[in-house]
Amino acid sequence: MTIEAALYSYLSTHSGLSSLISTRIYPMQVAQGATMPAVCYQLVDDIPVHSGGADVIVHAARFQFSCWGGGTSGYTSACAVAAQVKAALQDYSGTMGGTGGVVVQRSFLEMTTDLFDETLVRCGRAVDFIIWHEGS
């Protein structure tokens, strides 16, 4: 399983987040016409930092999660979604994604930034996480 698939699997079943967005978690950009609020994620950087042997490489991957609000309380909604992404990922370690998932050594918040999409007139909040994980 890829780290991207593991993130989707884990976040879509995190109760605090799924209560706000269900499974509206998208790679790269929110699907056109999607119901809000929603989250999209993208890999910002991926650095192999350690080889634990022939089959194990540890990565320090930086992911950005853009949390988009909905309705008249767009900014407040986006902040609530971002808070749940933080709650799900801050200091996470374990096998992410269930059986056959990705071993995550640690995940930590790198930064938070407010967003505004002028085309769609939508407020958001981005949270960036560094995720130390095993993979090839």
Question: Where do the domains of the chain lie?
Answer: 3-135
The CA distances from residue 103 to 9, 56, 65, 87, 97, in Å, are 13, 10, 20, 19, 9
| Class of domain 3-135 as given by CATH | alpha beta
Rounded to two decimals, the pTM is 0.91
In degrees rounded to 5, what are phi and psi of residue 86? -60, -45
Q: Which is more confident, 40 or 119?
A: 40
CA 110/CA 62 separation, integer angstroms: 8
Give 1-43 pLDDT, tens digit per residue: 999 999 999 999 999 999 999 999 999 999 888 999 999 999 9
